[in-house]
Structure 1
Amino acid sequence: MPYAQTSFFVEPWLKYKKPIVRQLAFAIASPNILSSIPSELSIAHSFNLHTNEHWQEHYKNYESRLEQLDLDSTELDIFLSKLKSTRLGLRFEMFFWFWLLDDKYHYYKLIEHSIQIIDGPKTVGELDFLIFNNKENRIEHWEVALKYYLAEKDFSLPFWYGLNRSDTFARKLNHFTQKQFQFSHVLEQEISHKFAVMKGQLFLPKYHLNEMHPAWINPARRLGTWGTTILPPSEEFYRLSRQEWICPDLQKTSETARWWTDGLYFQRKNQHHYMYRNTHLLTP
């Protein structure tokens, strides 16, 4: 059946004033872009997804802390200043690291972050987070990813492309199941459950929104659209800065678009994200 997107979204991250706090709130509160593991994915090592309710619960428990940080974000600013890279995925991972260390607000205890698995002279893998779940009394492995994929052709898994043409949804999920979730024992701990925390946004072709869409798209997460044609100026899109891909700032950070380059554009009135791509990038 065609994808039916809800008309109401729970997006509490938009209420915060400071950009860094809005981004932290998005990291915690936003649902996964997947509602289920795609059936077309060949599973080598199984993994799970958290429910939408899981993230809503953790946001509610953390809301008072976010309000404090919105008044004074010094602690968060200092923590994020340790990151020297401009990569959004690493910045996103830092927000989770900060939250997991804030263990007065949840039932997790961070055992270790960024664990390298060494076999002789070779690094055979790396784990983002190894966590003890006090509520369930178990060890969990989380892989955290911030991804933006746009759909082409028949919307099947291999035809969702990221910013880099070689970065496809299929490749990322295959990497999860074949490589990243291959370990069952780490740091003398037996891993009970493995979770992919995969957030960001998916983009559908602007003129194909009513076509059949995969059942694994999470309807709780707002979709964007994409195209290679310039939208009418009356739609008032402006280009988002790099960090605003996580969450747009409260105030506009650029003028309404009069010309277009590759990247993500935003319409504040309708909370609409539009990915503009030059046609030469769409060739295999």
Structure 2
Amino acid sequence: MSEPVTQSISTHLLVDAPWEAYRRPYVRDLAYVLACPNVLTQWLDFAPHQNTHAIAVHSANFWLRQFEKYQERLSELDTTNAYQALTRYLLKRPSPNRLGFHFEGLLSFWLEDGFARKLHPYETLASNVQLFSGKQTTGELDLILYNHAENLVEHWELAIKFFMGSAPFEPVNWVGINSNDNLQRKMTHMQTKQFRTVWVDTESHGQVKIDKRYGVIKGRFFLPKNIINFVYPSWLAPSFPMHEWCDKYDTSTLAMLDIRDLRAAHYIEWFTKREFYDGRPSALIHSENGILKTGLYFEGNRPIVIYPKQHDETDDKL
């Protein structure tokens, strides 16, 4: 197990963001999905008495290698008409404007396109496999892959998460805009629901047995703005994108922000910033009784989340 890492507020914010080198928004998103490490250095078992299967995670080096091997193709997508293949692929998928589906679409494009170009060994056998209990749908498996390098059938379950952290920074303390969503709850659900499956029926490859399971959890985390030093727990990847959040009712900390430097983010910008939204009326700052609305903002190019430390039920609707 790796040792905890301590970093100051000036260094824990992501400096190396290779996705920012790309001009076209979907290419930048795709580069982000590849270059961003898994949030986890190891899987944490929150259901030790439920007889579940072992779950693995890909290392940060694994994802960096995938990004590097795909860079030439990313440049092609960013500078030629090949971009149309990416946009068509994403927009024909169900609910392409929802963040989770967008993440899944980007990763699925890389899997199919990269395998066809022999840039990785993962052949997609099935995706979005429905689970049933009798005639009732009980869940869905994201990706069933065949790893030709290791001759294994792998089940990858995906999650894109944008969580705000608070002390003591355990998985249960990283929560979403909807405070019922937290990292521990998500991992427990994946382990006790989707990852229990052993056999999968596929349309093109018949019934296959899962040999290995991977949790693929990416996104961004946000630390309290007034924190000075942050000790990374051993389970949290030190290179995971880390930014700041501020309590919407903390007037003294909010006073440190110049509201003129803030821009409300469009929903898709939880992935990467779109400069063409700068200056638009929809990006104007709105407040209620002088309190900024909960959500994502940009302070220049730096993401910052305004979030209620004391839960406000109205924010669950965002």
Task: Give TM-score scaled by structure 1 length.
Answer: 0.89
1:247 to 272, 290, 294: 272
What one-letter code is carried by the residue in structure 2 that aligns with 1:215?
S
Give, in angstroms, the shift of residue 170 of structure 1: 1.4
Which one of 261, 276, 295 corresponds to residue 263 of structure 1? 295
> Contact between 1:17 and 1:250, CA under 8 Å: does it hold in 2?
no
SS of residue in 1 equivalent to 2:193: helix
Report what 2:152 is aligned to.
138
Residue 250 (structure 1) shift? 4.8
- Provide Cα deviations, 1:95-114, integer angstroms capped at 9, x if missing partner: 11111111112211100110
1:27 paired with 2:38, answer no
Counterpart CA distance in 2 for 1:179 and 1:109 is: 24
Alpha-carbon distance between aligned partners in 2 of 1:239 and 1:189, rounded to the nearest angstrom? 46
In structure 1, the partner of 2:66 is 58
* 8 A contact 1:17–1:70 mirrored in 2: yes
Q: 1:52 to 1:9 in 2, by over 3 A?
A: farther
Instruction: Give ranges in structure 2 of 5+ residues lacking alignment.
Output: 202-206, 287-291
CA separation of 1:19 and 1:163: change in aligned 2, threshold 3 A: same
Give the superposition deviation at 1:83. Answer: 3.3
2:243 to 224, 245, 253: 224
Equivalent pair of 1:240/1:253 in contact (CA under 8 Å): no
Q: How does 1:54-93 map to 2 (within 5 A)?
A: 54-71=62-79, 72=81, 73-85=83-95, 86-93=97-104
Offset, 1:11: 2.1
Does structure 1 residue 170 correspond to structure 2 residue 204?
no
Structure-2 separation of matches of 1:253 and 1:135: 45
User: Which amino acid is 2:124 matched to?
Assistant: L
Residue 35 of structure 1: CA displacement? 2.1
DSSP 3-state at the match of 2:27: helix
TM score, norm. by length of structure 2: 0.80
SS of the aligned residue for 2:70 comes to helix
Q: CA deviation at 1:119?
A: 3.0
Partner residue of 2:108 out of 97, 111, 116 = 97
**For residues 12 and 304 of structure 2, what CA distance do their matches in structure 1 show?**
18
Distance verdict in 2 for CA 1:95–1:210, change over 3 Å: same
Distance (whole Å) between structure 1 residues aligned to residue 28 and residue 131 of structure 2: 34
RMSD between aligned residues: 2.5
* Separation in 2, partners of 1:212, 1:12: 25
Larger Rg: 2
**Distance in 2 of aligned mates of 1:117 and 1:84:** 18
Q: Does the CA contact (< 8 Å) of 1:261 and 1:278 recur in 2?
A: no
Q: How has the CA–CA distance of structure 1 residues 10 and 208 changed in structure 2, closer, same or farther, with 3 Å as cutoff?
A: closer
Structure 1 residue 49: Cα displacement: 0.8
Deviations 1:10-47 (A, max 9, x none): 421110001111001111111112222246x3343321
**Local SS of the residue matching 1:118:** strand
Task: Please tell me the residue identity of whatever aligns with 2:299.
Answer: Q
Partner of 1:49: 57
Work out the CA distance in 1 between the residues paired with 2:128 and 2:265: 29
Shift of the alpha carbon at 1:68?
1.1
Is this contact kept in 2: 1:203–1:275, CA < 8 A? yes
Please give the alpha-carbon distance, in whole angstroms, between the structure 2 residues aligned to 1:31 and 1:250. Answer: 24
- Counterpart of 1:94, as a letter, is G
How far apart, in 2, do the equivalents of 1:19 and 1:159 lie? 31
Contact kept? 1:2, 1:210, Cα under 8 Å = no
Alignment of 1:171-186 (within 5 A): 171-186=185-200
With over 3 angstroms needed to count, the CA separation of the structure-2 counterparts of 1:212 and 1:76, relative to structure 1, is closer
How many residue pairs were aligned?
A: 281
Distance in structure 2 (CA, Å) of the matches to 1:235 and 1:223? 23
3-state SS of 1:274 partner: strand
Residue identity over aligned pairs, in percent, reads 29
Is the Cα–Cα contact under 8 Å of residues 246 and 305 in structure 2 kept in the other structure? yes
Aligned to 1:215: 234
Q: Is the 8 A contact 2:39 2:217 kept in 1?
A: yes
